[in-house]
Structure 1
């Protein structure tokens, strides 16, 4: 399958993609519909269950309002949508620039904890090429943010690359590194099926906070000491760090376009990724929007 990004034009869906599932934190069942949208729309979430105020939330770097355990966006009226990162990763990796995501609840369904179900959903709907050249965020100067021993940085690169490193005391995880070119083929083959993960001892504390109410062995890899509780174990080698990379791809797509740059993350997560996004946006001299057509690359 050809990459829509490589095609160098914006794409939307050929038809609607519809699914239903449970929110990992809310525990509530949600129906979700991804629909085609014209060029210039970007990715817009719409809360169909909200009728007394503005229910549209365009995804931007400034729309993220919480990133402690997941990525949460909101509009000026306080209407929120949580856990957008896996769907956002699937959209950007498959080259979808414009789509309206309608849902009747506050959280995107967790599905199996990876981006695989969203990729399958988008594939069934199909893709439609649009006339507008694909926009990219080109990184011109290094940007770095840190929190203790956690680091996230963007550096100039003529393609979209990613390196992620994690280090956990648990022998099940340990030190893991992944380094790859972020394109459709690599996402499909190495990243999309990696599931979110957590530790059994953390689950009860999260539930007391009103979180993880929909979490289960059906949608997360759960670790207890040095054991994986899921039947069948892991799906792939280094599944843990691959999922952290998946999250980062989704978190960075709030910028509104794929990157031309190299992302390097060490022990970070959603919060540090969003801090990096905001630092980039605050440094207009460190990036520019470019379009690439088959004939030439030109500054937008």
Structure 2
């Protein structure tokens, strides 16, 4: 069976954890789904109108997380790390049931999602995958921040730069090929914030569940977390993780080259809106092994899947 065919998980998995922004405990079940189902979120705490699709047009907030909502106002927030894990594992179809409005933050990265999903196994269907191929360069700018995507032969490249005045974070840059590189550092990198921003974030009702267990906190020239950083580029690597997860709200894996400076959820969402506003910017291609011998799934994870 080809890795170019659509995949779901073989067995359901369940886990619980606190919501970073809601501060409440949430129970989640991820269940297998048929080909062409896509990724679906289902709020099982609600009986009606409880399906929410992680589509870029359904994104209703990009303030410190990605929140999606349906036409009835039912929302699911902080989806980006789980979406990044699903993208990296090449999962096309699952139903994600949760009993509250936020995906648990777990350790602040995608590490635990991947560790929970892989043991469930994978079911590979007969249906070929579809991908989005970028045909023209598209860019979006906001003040001193920018993001662009342009054509690429067979890869999804992300070149990300962040620039903080804080001496610990400073200016960081990393470039990765999502389908070829070892992305362990990307998936293990945690969300982060500056100590001086915490009070302001909590005043607007966010980060009620935030702690040193699920976020890196930087105060002046010191990291407050015991053990420090997991890798030398953890700050920019987490931004890349967010970008991967947000790109998956396009509905498919992408072939293109992304360059982002000082970006985040807002810029990525606006870029996708701009890309799909004009049908000349992209093509949706059904991939079969005979016409494209490429996994379109990160090769470094295949050993874990096998």
- Distance in 1, matches of 2:19 and 2:204, equals 15
Aligned to 1:220: 215
Matched, 1:176 2:172: yes
Aligned to 2:298: none
- Distance in 2, matches of 1:59 and 1:233, equals 33
- Residue-by-residue CA offset, 1:230-284 (whole Å, 9 max, x unaligned): 0010000110000000000000100011110011110010011100111111121
Asked if the contact 2:185/2:234 (under 8 Å) is kept, the reply is: no
Q: TM-score, normalised by structure 1?
A: 0.95
Q: TM-score, normalised by structure 2?
A: 0.93
Asked if the contact 1:42/1:59 (under 8 Å) is kept, the reply is: no
Matched, 1:262 2:257: yes
Aligned residues: 292
Shift of 1:185: 5.4
Aligned to 1:284: 279
Consecutive aligned runs of 4 or more in structure 1 exceeding 3 Å deviation: none
Matches within 5 A, 1:125-274: 125-158=120-153, 159-183=155-179, 186-187=182-183, 189-274=184-269
Q: How much is the aligned-residue C-alpha RMSD, in angstroms?
A: 1.4
Shift of 1:132: 1.1
* SS of residue matched to 1:253: helix
Aligned to 2:21: 25
* SS of residue matched to 2:107: coil
In structure 1, stretches of 5+ residues that fail to align are none
Matches within 5 A, 1:108-127: 108-127=103-122
Asked if the contact 2:30/2:95 (under 8 Å) is kept, the reply is: yes
* SS of residue matched to 1:207: helix
Asked if the contact 1:45/1:101 (under 8 Å) is kept, the reply is: yes
* SS of residue matched to 2:56: coil
* SS of residue matched to 1:192: helix
